[in-house]
Amino acid sequence: MILLLIALVCSPGLVHAQAVEASPRLTVAVEGADDGELALSIQIVLLMTMLTLAPALIMLTTSFTRIIIVLGFLRQAIGTPQMPSNQILVGLALFLSVVIMMPVIDEIREVALDPYLEKTLSQKEAATKALEPIKAFMLHHTREKDLTMFLEITGSEVPVDRSDLKLSVVVPSFITSELKTAFQMGFLLYIPFLIVDMVVASVLMSMGMMMLPPILISLPFKILLFVMVDGWHLITRSLVTAFAVTS
């Protein structure tokens, strides 16, 4: 036994060769698929790529953009830039977006996902069917002015049917329209809190308290006003019904 150990120590090349030969090997193979379907390995790669792009897709093609901007304006208008935290606002905006987009998600499942799982649609047909409800949602909340602008920028021809518009035109037009709507709602949110700030500043000035920052006095009143009118309920209801009414 001692001689065997000595021999192994004196011949590291043999030990390395045996270790390499005995170690497991990982091989990656890409095989073709029947009926024009992508191979499983390619499907996994595409799925991982889509997961990395999922946050951007959620922000650009759903109601998430308008909701998070309005909630950000609300936090600034109240005067508490750190409360609620960004995580809470993003989580609330995400769940509200799921509620608003649920009819679109159900339609995608019915027209694209279920038929694909039942092997009645190919991958390309399922992807095309899945994009139709999303495009219809975006077009319904996009202003004609923004669509015309991006049609001119891209040099695209105006189609007979709006559903024939390319995503390269629909997505930026939708985002531009959502930004305008979100800023309009943010402006309306600022007005009552601005009035409170002006009243408090006028009272302090009339009392001669020039060195006291008005924000220290107005902040509790703005929070009290927001709580008394049940502000979170009103804001949440307004955001959800704004999409429901126009859907």
The number of residues in the chain equals: 247
pLDDT of the chain, 247 residues: tens digit per residue = 443 333 434 444 444 444 444 445 444 444 444 444 556 677 677 777 777 777 777 788 888 889 999 998 888 888 887 888 888 888 888 888 888 888 888 888 888 787 778 778 777 778 788 888 888 888 888 888 888 888 888 877 777 777 778 888 888 888 999 999 999 988 998 888 888 888 888 887 787 777 777 777 788 888 888 888 888 888 888 888 888 755 5
CA-to-CA separations, 57 to 60, 64, 78, 208, 226, in angstroms, rounded: 5, 10, 30, 54, 33
In this prediction, residue 245 carries a pLDDT of 53
CA atoms within 13 A on the CB side of 164: 6
In this prediction, residue 223 carries a pLDDT of 87
In this prediction, residue 183 carries a pLDDT of 92
CA 235 to chain centre: 19
In this prediction, residue 39 carries a pLDDT of 60
